[in-house]
Amino acid sequence: MRIAFLTAPEGVEEVELTTPWKAVETAGWIPQLVSTGPGRVQAFNHLDKANTYPVDHLLAGDTSDAFDALVLPGGVANPDALRMNDRAVGFVRSFFETGKPVAAICHAPWTLIEADVVRGRTLTSWPSLATDIRNAGGTWVDEEVQVCRAAPSTLITSRRPDDLDAFCTTLVKEFTPARDDDLGALRSP
């Protein structure tokens, strides 16, 4: 499975990028850093510059076709920049339109709000986004991790870096495709 990690060129919270990335690799999947700018992404540890990471895929009118799932790391500046980029917003929306799972942490739901995909869904985030989520038609809850299986896409959300263990465990579980023998057991009388 190929998992897209969408970030702006600058401002992603490093731990919210690297910890889910490791979880995806440990699951045996291929993480791909997708960005709206070429070269390297500048990560941050809160307000301090951290490491840079190479962009695997430059976003240019893409859809979710090349990927099986999407992870949206947070940081304040990252989702704020993404929600102002039509290509990024369209890319996020395409995962929901095609029924592929999405995971978002911290401030990342700002991009989901801009993509108009939170209406009728229950999610969590950094607490300062609660009003934004409600105004966009979603229900905000203060939970470590929230899974919303509203059709057509599953959405996994968490509040903050302290929730990363639960976030990563849940996203791996929810991103794992059902095995054919599991489906056969469900179909048998």
End-to-end CA distance of the chain: 31
Task: List the alpha helices (DSSP H) in 27-99.
Answer: 77-82, 86-97
Judged by DSSP in three states, 12 sits in: strand
Residues in the chain: 189
Q: Please give the helix or strand (H or E) that residue 5 lies within, else none.
A: strand 2-7
Strands laid side by side in the 10-13 sheet: 10-13, 40-45, 48-54
Q: Is 57 a catalytic residue?
A: no
Give CA–CA dist 57/38, Å, rounded: 8
Q: Which of 46, 107, 148, 168 is catalytic?
A: 107
Q: Which of 46, 57, 106, 148 is catalytic?
A: 106
Q: Is 106 a catalytic residue?
A: yes
Six-digit token string for 101: 């799972």
146, β-bridge pairs? 157
Give CA–CA dist 47/188, Å, rounded: 54
Judged by DSSP in three states, 21 sits in: helix
Token look-up 């290509």 returns 87
Catalytic sites, residue numbers: 106-107
